[in-house]
Amino acid sequence: MSSCTPQDVFGSDPAHVKWQVVRGDTSSLRVEFLENDEVTPFDISDWTFRATAYDPVEDVLDPLAVTKGNGYVDVVAAAITTENWGNNFRTFVNELQFDIEATLVDGTRWTPVIGTIVVLGDVSRSIL
């Protein structure tokens, strides 16, 4: 789980996240937006979000599902997407870049989170 404080200057110093995903699994990441007290959820009800992963091996952009809650967003990489993130039977099969972009009600765009998705190899699925 990561948290962001929107009162900081929008666009400056996004949170850097390392997200580990097993190839072929559904994986989710929750990002909380908190007031300066780091407890009270920030009102993000008028914001829109999108998240995208970039696979440099295949040169492909994969949209990730984003669900907004009370002061947080859940980002989901579906199994149907992650099954294409790498091949072979190594421990680490790929590393992708990703970000989460917010558009505020006044049109301001802000990227509160950037990071890497480390894709771990699976073995069992290959025999199913």
pLDDT over 60 (residue 85): yes
Q: Which of 53, 36, 57, 56 has the alpha carbon at shortest distance from 101?
A: 53
Residues 24 and 104: their CA atoms lie apart, in Å, by 33
pLDDT over 80 (residue 11): no
pLDDT over 80 (residue 26): yes
Going edge to edge, which strands form the sheet with 92-103?
A: 2-4, 27-33, 72-77, 60-68, 48-55, 92-103, 109-120, 15-22
Q: Which of the pair, 13 or 128, is modelled with greater confidence?
A: 13
What are the structural domains, with CATH classification, of the chain?
2-8+24-84+98-115 (2.60.40)
pTM: 0.86
Residues 20 and 22: their CA atoms lie apart, in Å, by 7
Predicted confidence band at 10 (pLDDT cuts at 50, 70, 90)?
low
When mean pLDDT is compared across 6-10, 43-47, 124-128, the lowest value belongs to 6-10
